[in-house]
Amino acid sequence: FKRRLRLIRRAAGEARDLDVLVDRLRQRWPVPTAGAPEAGRVIGLLAEQQTASRGPIRECWAELTSWDWPARQARLLKLLAELDSPRYVRFARRQMRLAGRQFFATTGPFRRAAQLHQFRIRGKRLRYSLDLFADALKPRPQARCLKRLKQMQEALG
């Protein structure tokens, strides 16, 4: 299962990188101008790559769907929601503390692109952890916190 998730993550990562790059280039050059005709060609080539990069994601999704993944996922989430054991709650809180510590340890100033990249990754992990463990956390995470993390991710790309 972990291997399959890793394949999906890698395929989605390449597609996401191309999506961000094409989007930023289109913002910079919304309409190819006479002064930058090469921009249109570059954007066109990247857009073709962007479309092709989604094929592996579709293949992974088709494989998961053939395993009846949506039903398995629903059963797992139902089981997790029903868990009220102190052991699960301790686990969830420990994971949230770890995600929070790692996130805040990577805050700026960002002197290198690698530092900003780590901040993006830690922000994503914190957001997904909040989503996953929301039922086990008391008090429940506020929607405002999740909304801010999502806004941060969109701003950072």
Taking the C-alpha atoms of residue 15 and residue 65, their distance in angstroms, rounded to an integer, is: 20
Taking the C-alpha atoms of residue 98 and residue 100, their distance in angstroms, rounded to an integer, is: 5
Please state the rounded mean pLDDT for residues 93-100: 88
In tens, the pLDDT along 99-155 reads: 989 988 888 788 888 888 888 888 888 888 888 787 777 666 667 777 888 888 777
Query: pLDDT class for 33, splitting at 50, 70, 90?
Result: low
The conformation of residue 60, written as its DSSP 8-state character, comes to H
Q: Which token pair is 68?
A: 């009846």
Q: Which of 4 and 58 is assigned the larger pLDDT?
A: 58
In tens, the pLDDT along 35-92 reads: 667 778 888 888 898 888 888 888 887 887 788 877 887 887 777 667 667 777 888 8
Quote the pTM value: 0.52
For residue 87, give the nearest of 130, 127, 136 by alpha carbon. 136
